[in-house]
A and B are shown apart, each in its own frame.
Chain A
């Protein structure tokens, strides 16, 4: 058994999902970088790995969180559902959200909860829409710092 933290655990979950998607989609390679980690998958041996290229670490990082140098390109941050619920409100694309401000609201029966952003940013995309039943850890909105 190998001990890992939440961040690593969710990165592994993401990697597994990417692997599935890659196999299902018939893609040759996948490379994703961002706040939620960096990923590179390739079908064929010898495919150059951009994560190991020297340039990959030289990009300007915007306010690296607690000294961690995880970003390649823009800093993105995804606000996720803390439990199952129905989306009743979601910040508009382009809206500026401060750290700790509400990025979405989900309802459980007659009760509505505010889902706060843990980092500041501009809403770049929605991963759910109003009326959706979102499950635990499902993405709600993506913010770009």
Chain B
């Protein structure tokens, strides 16, 4: 049954994005808000808003019972969780099912199994998706050398028992693997009482590449190409592009096929993303994880495919099959997205909440802005710092960079600090233009240079 009234259990730009997608499909909308978001753009545009609780997310957006109760009592027959908050918590679809509400996402058991690293790796292996070469039970120095030789250097050795960075050693050859074993194993014994180590290949300069998937839970799975999200700071993506031009076509085909095979193996329903680490030197990719939700960076895939992922999510949650076959998916041009955050890059990215006194975004052909901001809008200090996403689309990567630079130059925001200036620096950097970047490039090169210049 097609959804007639949709509950949106999220805030910010994605709540607004979902309201618009629902309205395009003639679906009524009810937006959940906290006390701090009563006057949000999504709340104003939706047919109705419901104040769940106070500003603190734990007492509003993160309480699944309040969310589902409000959805049911406001007469909704569908619920979209957006990203973040409760979007990958199985309790939400479980409660929705109890109340007869269609959850815009995968089945609860699929969320749970994909959310568990060990299970997800096992599922990937079963579906033939490549994993980072590694070994679980390294018990002696001789084991370490033998496994290191097999896996290929450099390798990472860490305690099998514990997480975090304790007892972590990187080895570049067999001698270092043996020496590293003694050191890491001693630390592991001290920390966890168990000296057994886990070893895996270490990729010093990796790219983050991910495949956009859409499944209907009826056996249909398509991909909408891949995204390259290698500009990151502390594992947070700042810039995403599609396609990943650093990847040759034959590898790209394998990447797409791997992601689709994994999704098909769980009869995946919803938009989803299969994330990979791309080792450019070796020309290999390895599975990281599946994100079972719409992602922040979905617009770059929409720009190159002309396909509305959120509308498709809503149709599929209402019981429809995929509206396209893989043959009908046509990818063209290059798209780049910048996440605009309310952060002061001169003060170590300190969040900068407050009131926006001027908001003059760029506009034009091939320029898209997904944002809930406007002049006079208040950025509350309670939630994340993203205030919008600027996306451009052009025939080539070079043309897209040029367009993005012009768009960023036109983007005027006052009243708060933003990352707009940093984005201009990044895309103006010769390494970015030449596409010589990796997931630690921003911190190791650009931000390090910036610090050096300031010192």
Contacts and interface: CB of A to CB of B under 8 A. Distances in A.
A binds B: yes
A137 B36 CA distance: 12
Nearest to B75: A133
Nearest to A133: B73
A82 to B, nearest CB: 8
B54 interface: yes
A4 B65 CA distance: 31
Nearest to B34: A136
B74 A83 contact: no
A121 interface: no
B70 interface: yes
Interface in B30-68: 34-35, 50-54, 59-60, 63, 65-66, 68
Most chain A CB within a 10 A radius of its CB, from B34, B53, B68, B69: B69
Contact of A108 (B50, B54, B69): B69
A27 to B, nearest CB: 23
Contacts of A84: 50-53, 66, 69-70, 73
Nearest to A131: B73
A83 B73 contact: no
B21 interface: no
A135 interface: yes
A58 interface: no
A82 B51 CA distance: 11
Nearest to A111: B65
A86 interface: yes
B307 to A, nearest CB: 35
Contact of B50 (A82, A107, A135, A137): A135
A110 to B, nearest CB: 9
A83 B68 contact: no
B95 interface: yes
A137 B51 contact: yes
A109 interface: yes
Interface in A112-145: 133, 135-138
B73 A86 contact: yes
A5 to B, nearest CB: 15
Contacts of B34: 136
Size band of the interface chain A makes with B: 10 to 19
A111 B69 CA distance: 10
B68 A109 contact: yes
B38 to A, nearest CB: 9
B59 to A, nearest CB: 7
A109 B99 CA distance: 9
A109 B54 contact: no
B272 to A, nearest CB: 28
Most chain B CB within a 10 A radius of its CB, from A108, A136, A138: A136
A1 B52 CA distance: 26
Given A83-B59, A108-B65, A109-B69, A136 B54 contact: yes
Contacts of A82: 53
A83 B72 CA distance: 15
Contacts of B35: 136-137
Q: Across the A-B interface, give the 5 residue pairs with the lowest CB-CB distance, nearest first.
A: A135-B51, A133-B73, A83-B53, A136-B51, A108-B69
Given A83-B52, A108-B65, A133-B74, 18 more contacts: A83-B54, A83-B60, A83-B63, A84-B52, A84-B53, A84-B69, A84-B70, A84-B73, A108-B66, A109-B65, A109-B95, A109-B99, A133-B50, A136-B35, A136-B51, A136-B53, A136-B60, A137-B35
17 contacts: A83-B52, A83-B60, A83-B63, A83-B66, A84-B51, A84-B52, A84-B53, A84-B66, A84-B73, A85-B66, A86-B73, A107-B69, A108-B65, A109-B65, A109-B99, A133-B50, A136-B52
